[in-house]
Protein backbone atom coordinates (compact mmCIF):
# COMPACT_ATOMS: atom_id res chain seq x y z
CA UNK A 1 0.00 0.00 0.00
CA UNK A 2 1.15 3.54 -0.70
CA UNK A 3 2.34 5.88 2.04
CA UNK A 4 0.06 8.58 3.48
CA UNK A 5 2.19 11.37 4.95
CA UNK A 6 0.28 13.95 6.99
CA UNK A 7 2.35 16.88 8.20
CA UNK A 8 2.57 17.68 11.90
CA UNK A 9 4.92 20.60 11.33
CA UNK A 10 4.10 23.68 13.45
CA UNK A 11 4.46 26.00 10.45
CA UNK A 12 1.95 23.96 8.48
CA UNK A 13 -0.49 23.74 11.42
CA UNK A 14 -0.35 27.53 11.78
CA UNK A 15 -0.88 28.16 8.08
CA UNK A 16 -3.71 25.60 7.93
CA UNK A 17 -5.54 27.52 10.68
CA UNK A 18 -5.38 30.61 8.45
CA UNK A 19 -6.49 28.70 5.35
CA UNK A 20 -9.46 27.16 7.15
CA UNK A 21 -10.73 30.49 8.51
CA UNK A 22 -13.56 31.96 6.47
CA UNK A 23 -12.18 35.39 7.42
CA UNK A 24 -9.09 34.82 5.23
CA UNK A 25 -9.46 36.73 1.96
CA UNK A 26 -8.46 35.70 -1.56
CA UNK A 27 -5.01 37.33 -1.67
CA UNK A 28 -3.89 35.89 1.65
CA UNK A 29 -5.48 32.50 0.92
CA UNK A 30 -3.62 32.23 -2.40
CA UNK A 31 -0.31 33.21 -0.78
CA UNK A 32 -0.70 30.67 2.02
CA UNK A 33 -1.66 27.85 -0.39
CA UNK A 34 1.65 28.53 -2.16
CA UNK A 35 3.59 28.52 1.11
CA UNK A 36 2.03 25.26 2.32
CA UNK A 37 2.73 23.70 -1.10
CA UNK A 38 6.43 24.64 -0.73
CA UNK A 39 6.65 23.16 2.76
CA UNK A 40 4.90 19.96 1.67
CA UNK A 41 7.11 19.64 -1.41
CA UNK A 42 10.14 19.86 0.89
CA UNK A 43 8.82 16.80 2.76
CA UNK A 44 7.83 14.94 -0.42
CA UNK A 45 11.27 15.30 -2.03
CA UNK A 46 13.13 13.90 0.98
CA UNK A 47 13.65 10.49 -0.65
CA UNK A 48 14.53 11.57 -4.20
CA UNK A 49 17.68 9.89 -5.55
CA UNK A 50 20.94 11.84 -5.43
CA UNK A 51 24.04 11.82 -7.57
CA UNK A 52 27.50 13.10 -6.76
CA UNK A 53 28.90 16.13 -8.59
CA UNK A 54 32.34 17.71 -8.48
CA UNK A 55 32.27 21.32 -7.25
CA UNK A 56 35.08 23.82 -6.94
CA UNK A 57 34.46 26.14 -3.96
CA UNK A 58 36.50 29.37 -3.60
CA UNK A 59 38.71 27.32 -1.24
CA UNK A 60 38.95 23.74 -2.54
CA UNK A 61 37.58 21.03 -4.78
CA UNK A 62 34.80 18.96 -3.19
CA UNK A 63 32.07 16.45 -3.97
CA UNK A 64 28.44 17.55 -3.53
CA UNK A 65 25.12 15.84 -4.18
CA UNK A 66 22.26 16.92 -6.44
CA UNK A 67 18.85 15.46 -7.32
CA UNK A 68 19.26 12.65 -9.84
CA UNK A 69 15.87 12.61 -11.58
CA UNK A 70 14.09 14.93 -13.97
CA UNK A 71 10.99 16.46 -12.38
CA UNK A 72 7.56 17.55 -13.56
CA UNK A 73 4.85 19.35 -11.65
CA UNK A 74 1.31 18.65 -12.83
CA UNK A 75 -1.50 20.72 -11.29
CA UNK A 76 -5.07 19.48 -11.64
CA UNK A 77 -6.95 22.52 -12.97
CA UNK A 78 -7.94 24.71 -11.74
CA UNK A 79 -7.20 24.76 -7.99
CA UNK A 80 -3.88 22.91 -8.43
CA UNK A 81 -2.49 26.03 -10.12
CA UNK A 82 -2.49 27.65 -6.68
CA UNK A 83 0.17 25.17 -5.51
CA UNK A 84 2.43 25.31 -8.57
CA UNK A 85 4.48 28.48 -8.05
CA UNK A 86 5.30 27.56 -4.45
CA UNK A 87 6.85 24.34 -5.76
CA UNK A 88 8.57 25.89 -8.78
CA UNK A 89 10.30 28.36 -6.46
CA UNK A 90 12.22 25.33 -5.14
CA UNK A 91 12.74 23.49 -8.47
CA UNK A 92 12.64 26.12 -11.22
CA UNK A 93 13.87 23.69 -13.91
CA UNK A 94 10.94 21.29 -13.45
CA UNK A 95 8.61 21.01 -16.45
CA UNK A 96 4.94 21.72 -15.98
CA UNK A 97 1.94 19.77 -17.27
CA UNK A 98 -1.75 20.54 -16.84
CA UNK A 99 -4.71 18.22 -16.39
CA UNK A 100 -8.12 19.88 -16.54
CA UNK A 101 -10.86 18.18 -14.54
CA UNK A 102 -13.91 19.43 -12.75
CA UNK A 103 -16.20 17.55 -10.46
CA UNK A 104 -19.78 17.20 -11.66
CA UNK A 105 -21.81 18.79 -8.88
CA UNK A 106 -24.46 16.07 -8.93
CA UNK A 107 -22.57 12.83 -9.59
CA UNK A 108 -19.29 14.09 -8.01
CA UNK A 109 -17.53 12.24 -10.87
CA UNK A 110 -14.61 14.02 -12.61
CA UNK A 111 -15.15 15.46 -16.10
CA UNK A 112 -12.00 15.89 -18.22
CA UNK A 113 -11.56 19.05 -20.32
CA UNK A 114 -7.80 19.45 -20.85
CA UNK A 115 -4.57 17.44 -20.76
CA UNK A 116 -1.18 18.81 -21.85
CA UNK A 117 1.94 17.12 -20.51
CA UNK A 118 5.69 17.53 -21.14
CA UNK A 119 6.80 15.51 -24.20
CA UNK A 120 9.19 13.40 -22.09
CA UNK A 121 6.85 13.10 -19.10
CA UNK A 122 7.36 9.32 -18.90
CA UNK A 123 11.05 9.93 -18.01
CA UNK A 124 10.19 12.26 -15.13
CA UNK A 125 9.20 11.95 -11.50
CA UNK A 126 5.78 13.64 -11.52
CA UNK A 127 4.41 15.63 -8.60
CA UNK A 128 0.64 15.74 -9.17
CA UNK A 129 -0.87 18.57 -7.13
CA UNK A 130 -4.41 19.51 -6.12
CA UNK A 131 -5.39 21.21 -2.86
CA UNK A 132 -8.33 18.89 -2.19
CA UNK A 133 -8.58 15.08 -2.09
CA UNK A 134 -12.27 14.54 -1.34
CA UNK A 135 -13.94 11.52 -3.03
CA UNK A 136 -10.64 10.98 -4.83
CA UNK A 137 -12.34 10.87 -8.24
CA UNK A 138 -10.28 13.73 -9.69
CA UNK A 139 -6.90 12.49 -8.45
CA UNK A 140 -7.74 8.91 -9.44
CA UNK A 141 -8.55 10.01 -13.01
CA UNK A 142 -5.49 12.30 -13.25
CA UNK A 143 -3.17 9.51 -12.11
CA UNK A 144 -4.82 7.29 -14.73
CA UNK A 145 -3.94 9.84 -17.47
CA UNK A 146 -0.33 10.02 -16.29
CA UNK A 147 0.03 6.24 -16.20
CA UNK A 148 -1.54 5.96 -19.68
CA UNK A 149 1.24 8.30 -20.87
CA UNK A 150 3.82 5.93 -19.42
CA UNK A 151 4.71 7.81 -16.21
CA UNK A 152 6.24 5.40 -13.73
CA UNK A 153 6.89 7.57 -10.67
CA UNK A 154 4.01 9.72 -9.36
CA UNK A 155 3.74 11.47 -6.00
CA UNK A 156 0.45 13.17 -5.08
CA UNK A 157 0.46 16.38 -3.00
CA UNK A 158 -2.68 17.91 -1.51
CA UNK A 159 -3.45 20.45 1.15
CA UNK A 160 -6.40 18.55 2.64
CA UNK A 161 -7.14 14.83 2.38
CA UNK A 162 -10.36 13.04 3.32
CA UNK A 163 -10.63 9.32 4.17
CA UNK A 164 -12.70 8.48 1.06
CA UNK A 165 -10.06 9.94 -1.28
CA UNK A 166 -7.15 8.34 0.52
CA UNK A 167 -8.86 4.94 0.47
CA UNK A 168 -9.67 5.24 -3.24
CA UNK A 169 -6.12 6.20 -4.23
CA UNK A 170 -4.52 3.56 -2.03
CA UNK A 171 -6.81 0.91 -3.57
CA UNK A 172 -6.47 1.98 -7.22
CA UNK A 173 -2.90 3.33 -7.15
CA UNK A 174 -0.92 1.59 -4.38
CA UNK A 175 2.30 2.81 -6.02
CA UNK A 176 1.46 6.53 -5.55
CA UNK A 177 2.45 8.07 -2.22
CA UNK A 178 0.17 10.80 -0.84
CA UNK A 179 1.47 13.89 0.99
CA UNK A 180 -1.14 16.03 2.77
CA UNK A 181 -0.86 19.10 4.96
CA UNK A 182 -3.85 17.86 6.95
CA UNK A 183 -6.29 14.94 7.08
CA UNK A 184 -9.94 15.62 7.90
CA UNK A 185 -12.55 13.18 9.14
CA UNK A 186 -15.35 13.13 6.57
CA UNK A 187 -17.26 14.54 3.60
CA UNK A 188 -20.65 16.21 3.81
CA UNK A 189 -23.66 15.32 1.60
CA UNK A 190 -22.32 17.62 -1.17
CA UNK A 191 -18.91 15.95 -1.19
CA UNK A 192 -17.16 18.81 0.66
CA UNK A 193 -14.49 18.02 3.20
CA UNK A 194 -15.56 18.66 6.84
CA UNK A 195 -14.38 20.84 8.55
CA UNK A 196 -12.31 21.53 5.44
CA UNK A 197 -11.62 24.98 4.06
CA UNK A 198 -14.48 25.36 1.57
CA UNK A 199 -14.13 25.41 -2.21
CA UNK A 200 -10.39 25.68 -2.84
CA UNK A 201 -10.72 26.91 -6.44
CA UNK A 202 -13.20 29.62 -5.55
CA UNK A 203 -11.09 30.80 -2.62
CA UNK A 204 -7.85 30.87 -4.67
CA UNK A 205 -9.37 32.68 -7.63
CA UNK A 206 -12.04 34.74 -5.85
CA UNK A 207 -14.86 33.38 -7.98
CA UNK A 208 -17.49 33.31 -5.23
C1 LIG B 1 -12.03 20.42 -6.58
C2 LIG B 1 -10.60 20.17 -6.13
C3 LIG B 1 -10.33 18.81 -6.71
C4 LIG B 1 -11.66 18.12 -6.60
C5 LIG B 1 -11.61 17.22 -5.41
O6 LIG B 1 -12.05 20.83 -7.88
O7 LIG B 1 -9.70 21.15 -6.55
O8 LIG B 1 -9.89 18.84 -8.07
O9 LIG B 1 -12.63 19.14 -6.39
O10 LIG B 1 -12.76 16.47 -5.30
P11 LIG B 1 -12.79 14.89 -5.54
O12 LIG B 1 -11.67 14.32 -4.77
O13 LIG B 1 -14.14 14.50 -5.02
O14 LIG B 1 -12.66 14.63 -7.02
P15 LIG B 1 -13.39 21.28 -8.64
O16 LIG B 1 -14.00 20.10 -9.33
O17 LIG B 1 -14.27 22.03 -7.71
O18 LIG B 1 -12.85 22.20 -9.80
P19 LIG B 1 -12.02 23.58 -9.73
O20 LIG B 1 -10.60 23.24 -9.32
O21 LIG B 1 -12.11 24.05 -11.13
O22 LIG B 1 -12.69 24.50 -8.74
N1 LIG C 1 -13.35 20.42 -3.56
C2 LIG C 1 -13.16 21.54 -2.83
O3 LIG C 1 -12.72 22.58 -3.35
N4 LIG C 1 -13.44 21.48 -1.51
C5 LIG C 1 -13.90 20.38 -0.91
O6 LIG C 1 -14.12 20.40 0.31
C7 LIG C 1 -14.09 19.22 -1.70
C8 LIG C 1 -13.79 19.27 -3.02
The predicted-structure confidence for 113-160, as pLDDT tens digits, reads as follows 999 999 999 999 999 999 999 999 999 999 999 999 999 999 999 999
Q: What is the pLDDT of residues 54-65, one digit of tens each?
A: 999 999 999 999
Average pLDDT over residues 12-29: 98
CA distance 183 to 164: 11
Task: Give the pLDDT of residue 105.
Answer: 85
Mutate to test the pocket of ligand 2, among 165, 199, 206, 208 (most ligand atoms within 8 A of CB): 199
Distance (Å, whole) CA 180 – CA 92:
22
Residue nearest to atom 4 of ligand 2 (CA): 199
pLDDT digits (tens, 9 = 90+) for 170-189: 999 999 999 999 999 999 99
Whose alpha carbon is nearest atom 7 of ligand 2? 192
- Could you tell me which of 57, 1, 45, 19 has the C-alpha nearest to residue 169? 1
pLDDT of 102 reads: 87
**pLDDT at position 37, please?**
98
What pLDDT was estimated at residue 169? 98
Name the residue of 19, 77, 103, 188 whose CB sits within 8 Å of the most ligand 1 atoms, as the mutation to test its pocket.
103
* 24-79: pLDDT as tens digits: 999 999 999 999 999 999 999 999 999 999 999 999 999 999 999 999 999 999 99
**Mean confidence (pLDDT) of the chain:** 97
Report the alpha-carbon distance of residue 137 to residue 134 in Å, rounded.
8
* Shortest-distance ligand to the CA of residue 188: 2
Q: Whose atoms come closest to the Cα of 78: which ligand?
A: 1
Task: Give Cα separations from 72 to 59, 64, 185, 202 (angstroms).
Answer: 35, 23, 31, 25
C-beta 143 within 6 A of ligand 2: no
Pick the atom of ligand 2 nearest to 201's CA: 3
Distance 192 CA to ligand 2 centre (A): 5
79 C-alpha to center of ligand 2: Å? 10
Ligand 1 centroid to Cα of residue 132, in Å, is: 6
Please tell me the predicted confidence (pLDDT) of residue 208: 87
Amino acid sequence: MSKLFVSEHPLIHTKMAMLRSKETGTKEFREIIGEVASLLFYEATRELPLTEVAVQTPIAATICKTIDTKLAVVPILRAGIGMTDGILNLVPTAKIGHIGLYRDEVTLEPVEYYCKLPADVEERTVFLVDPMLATGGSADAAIGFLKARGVKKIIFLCILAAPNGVERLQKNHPDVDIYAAAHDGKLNENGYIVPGLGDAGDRIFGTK
